[in-house]
Chain A
Amino acid sequence: MVAIIEKREIRDFDWLTTVLAIAIASFGVWQIHNALPTESYWTKQIFGLVVALIAFAIVAVSDYRRIIDAAPIIYVVGLVLLFLVLTPFGVEVNGQRAWVRLPLVGQFQPSEFAKIPTILMLAKYFGARKGGALQIREVMIGALIMAGPLGLIMLEPDIGQAITYIPIFAAVLFLSAIKYVIAGLLAVVVLVPTAWYVGVKSGKIKRYQQERVNVVLDPDSADPRGFGYHTVQSMITVGKGGLSGIRGETETSQSVLKFLPEPQTDFIFAVTAENTGFIGCVSLLLAYALLLSRLVAGAREVSDRQGMLVIMSIATAMTFQIFMNIGMTLGFLPVIGVPLPLMSAGLSAILSTFIAIGFVVSVRMRRFVN
């Protein structure tokens, strides 16, 4: 699978994207430390980062085209892993059954990893078309590819992760010249409320999750001890950071005093806001913007449709996750457990993100090869 690296390829290695991703992840490790200095999350994250970089390097130097060729196999493996969650191998953490514990491998979250096989499968199918307006049949096949992982994730149920899959499909359709552009966009707009409605009706979205969404509409008047608690505390934490943050006064920080829930994962951005202030947060947003720009620039340069779709899917998924996570932290989107790419603590998340970026780098490195 590993291709022979030619000199030219090393020359074309996308150092800037790599450095940006590592920089953001390192910044994330610092914030995880700030969140709970006395806990070991940040050291685990360093370990995770090292593992992720190894995986990244392997993927980056591989020829993505061969991997896309093997997409169906990888896709099936992804589905199997997702299925394992529903078997006795599945593990419940914080009341959510989204993890698998396998002998030798350890504990991980398949829904994080399954995004890559799904993207590869979509890229393989839609990248092979010759152009022209998208046929209904093709859309249906794409939807079938999506239905596998999405269905299994909904069965866990992990609404947050499931939602992050939707923009991937939307982006792929959009870039595959769906005939009615507006209709496509509308589909996205319609899809979310529909998913919500179906979720509520089928009981897949639990009562507390509904309340979390409702509280977004009016967090201040909501019972600060009840369902709006997370949102209110997150906003307090962000606002407290002010312009330049609390500068090291971590003993009295919102996360250390446990006012802020899940500070090392879902609310890592609130920790960042508290510790580094507006300046730090905007710097982080700019870093994300720069990273996304690099990905998009790469997508425009690549010579094949499959590579372009891989990069853009990854960029879209990342954008959407960033927006969902920070929007939740800033109190205008519902509290749904979506990790912040490269920042949130969690081996599965950092590993899958770096693997995805590995693909991007791999694609770019071979942009001049045909």
Chain B
Amino acid sequence: MKLNEHSQNLGGRIITIQVVAFVLLAILGARLYYLQVVRGDYFSERAENQRIRLIPIPAPRGAIFDRNGKILVDSRPTFNVVLSNEPIKGIEVDDRVDEYAKGLSLEPLYVRERLVSIKKQNDFETLVLKDNASMQDIAWVESHLLEFPELRVELQPQRFYPHGTSMAHVLGYVGEISPKQLESDEYRQKGFRPGDIIGKGGLEQYYDEFLRGTPGYRKVIVDSRGRVQSEIGKVEPQSGQDLITTIDLDLQNAAEQQLAATPTKRGTIISMDPNNGEMLAMASLPSFDPNIFVQGSKTKEGRKQIAAYWQDPQRPLYNRAIQGRYPPGSTWKIPESVAGLEQGAITVAHSNLACGGGIQVGNKFTRCMGNHGSPRLDAAITHSCDGYYYRLALKLGIEGITEMVEQFDYDKVSGIDLPNEKISQTPKSWRPIVEKREGKWSDIRTVYSGIGQDTVVITPISHLRAIASVGVHGQMYVPHFMKEFKSVSPVGEEGDPNYIPGRQGFTFQHPEAKLIPMTAEQNEMIVRGMWGVVNGGGTAAAIRIPGFDIAGKTGTAQVAELGKDVGGKKDHAWFVSFAPANKPEIAVLALVENVGFGGSFAAPAVKGVYEAYLAKKGIQPQADTDEGAKQ
């Protein structure tokens, strides 16, 4: 140390500086060890999380067809302008509102609302800013990519219901899963996430798991501003399974038209194949347009329309065929006739009961609309003799009527493949309530129940099922719309982590039909009575189609007491039927609310459906040569 002659211990000072330098470098080394070796995996993961993003590719939902392959529901491609929150974290809402509103022709208030809500969400969330984007919108977004990296155009298949209000109740609609559904275990276990589109109502809801596809995704690398740099993987979506329904679009259209032609335009017409339960048509009016729910829920006008549907006192959202409950009136006499014969209250040989123009129960006389003497069962059906059925009901007693209710499953849902089916109310369900309230079940209630009034309020679908069974010797099939689900091929290779197995096609699995025990003679007698209603000068003789024997029964159900049954409280008109009478191929039921006599309003509507059926089969109605001949 050459400078050491000075007293300052220079060498020591130099070494001190060197030691300080080494200590500082050692601190850096220790910190490096901690960050890279100890916590390396943690930071690797963080780096990966911020650069890799999964962009979902929506899966097309299965289409829905009628039995002849005509399209009932499909999905069409639309484009959404999507807002991602990440690039706009540090940006003021005010800086964007006007630009977006102008560029995409949106309401500034709406844009503000959307921007505020996206900024509140987690990283990497997206929100639809505008759906059904036009070509101009898309062009605007593409040309402002650099300015507004938060905007993106996304392909979104949108559910489309080409037939509008027709079949709306059967088909249902789709919409975003609700927050309430998301909270429920049922949906959470299936892995639903906010924004998922699910079926709501109708077949869309009932068969959601088959109609719904499995979404795919693009695995992409993004830069710090969320711009996609490259794609490192892609999993194709698997579309949902196509559903072939049992609906016959021509019959459905006929049913809709007939219903729309009634004075109140309220009610339901349903049709099924009595031989297997396949539903051919289900119309319920008033109806709604499912497209409004799909497209409109994001616009002001759409939400207004949806609210109007909910508030409408005519209740357009409710499916009268499975959710409406109506007194069946005289149509109730058909199951009652079966019960009378089966339980031995009457026999085929001795089926005559007095009409008496009505019946005296206690101090009250309940009258029949005519005087039919002492008719046989078939004549009582043909002419709808109330007196006959007052007495039959008394003979059966409340126990007998309860047995009949159980026999025909009026105390259960029909099991149709639609959600939210209601159970009918019957003397069986009312009895405990009445006995609690009034102390006893009085005979007059049994009498009323004999003509389908008072404690009898049933769903049209349960009724159609019961009536149709009479045409096929007591075979009660479960009504259904599902005919077949088509198969879907697998996505990817087996063994691949992203492999989605194919889905098998399958047809409706018929539960075993319930058998209503009745002899051929008993059955023949009832069918003869029903045949007479239309073809034997009965209550619906006006709808006779020569060469095509309809077996039916009219019903006129009182909504209010006699004398007050006017205007909005007019009777409900019923017509239940199957045809041809001896070997039915089709059963049709019509219920029209508050119009009056069943033979005048419901029966002609049913006739219209049969005519459509015959036109399809290429059968021309024969010239009417033997009007009212047989009985």
Residues of A within 8 A of B (CB): 131-132, 171, 174-177, 225-226, 233, 235-243, 251-252, 254, 257-259, 273, 277-278, 281-282, 285, 288-289, 292-293, 296, 299-303, 305, 308, 312, 315-316, 319, 322-323, 326-327, 330-332
Contact = CB atoms under 8 A, between A and B. Distances in A.
A240 B28 contact: no
10 contacts: A174-B17, A175-B10, A243-B36, A252-B51, A259-B224, A315-B17, A315-B21, A323-B27, A327-B31, A330-B31
A346 to B, nearest CB: 21
B500 interface: no
Interface of B: 1-3, 6-8, 10-11, 13-18, 20-22, 24-25, 27-29, 31-33, 35-37, 39-44, 46-47, 50-51, 89-90, 221-225, 229-230
A291 to B, nearest CB: 10
Contact of A239 (B22, B29, B35, B90): B35
B6 A131 contact: yes
B22 A241 contact: no
A319 B21 contact: yes
A299 B46 CA distance: 46
A146 B33 CA distance: 37
A330 B29 CA distance: 10
B33 A278 contact: yes
A296 B17 contact: yes
A308 B3 contact: yes
Contacts of B223: 257-259
B224 A257 contact: yes
Contact of A238 (B7, B11, B25, B43): B43
A303 B2 CA distance: 6
Given A238-B43, A241-B40, A330 B14 contact: no
Contact of A288 (B6, B25, B35, B47): B25
A207 B31 CA distance: 28
A235 B43 contact: yes
Given A300-B14, A303-B2, A316-B17, A278 B36 contact: yes
Contacts of A242: 36-37, 40-41, 44
Contacts of B42: 239
A239 B14 CA distance: 35
Contact of A258 (B2, B22, B225): B225
A261 to B, nearest CB: 9
Given A240-B44, A305-B3, A281 B221 contact: no
A87 B24 CA distance: 38
A177 B16 CA distance: 13
Contacts of A174: 13, 16-17
A323 B51 contact: no
Centre residue among B18, B29, B32, B229 by max chain A CB count within 10 A:
B32
A235 B43 CA distance: 8
B8 A177 contact: yes
Contacts of A316: 17, 21
B25 A322 contact: yes
B43 A285 contact: no
B37 to A, nearest CB: 6
A289 B21 CA distance: 8
A282 B32 contact: yes
A332 B28 CA distance: 10
A252 B43 contact: no
Contact of A282 (B11, B27, B29, B222): B29
Given A282-B29, A296-B18, A300-B14, A319 B24 contact: yes
A285 B31 CA distance: 12
A332 B11 contact: no
Contacts of A302: 2
B35 A289 contact: no
Nearest to B8: A177
B35 A171 contact: no
A241 B35 CA distance: 9
Given A259-B50, A315-B17, A243 B40 contact: yes
Contact of B14 (A225, A226, A312): A312
A326 B36 CA distance: 14
Contacts of B11: 300
A308 B13 CA distance: 12
A330 B221 contact: no
A178 to B, nearest CB: 9
Contacts of A326: 28
Nearest to B51: A257
A305 B6 CA distance: 11
Nearest to A131: B6
Nearest to A239: B43
A312 B14 CA distance: 8
Given A259-B223, A315-B21, A326-B28, A278 B14 contact: no
A59 to B, nearest CB: 23
Contact of B43 (A131, A236, A312): A236
Nearest to B50: A259
Contact of B6 (A177, A233, A239, A331): A177
A257 B44 CA distance: 15
A257 B37 contact: no
Given A303-B2, A303-B3, 4 more contacts: A243-B37, A289-B22, A323-B25, A326-B28
B341 to A, nearest CB: 81
Nearest to B33: A278
Contacts of B39: 239
Nearest to A299: B14
Contacts of B229: 251, 257
Nearest to A292: B21
Contacts of A330: 28, 31-32, 35
Contacts of B224: 233, 257-259
Contacts of A254: 47
A241 B24 contact: no
Nearest to A370: B2
A132 B24 contact: no
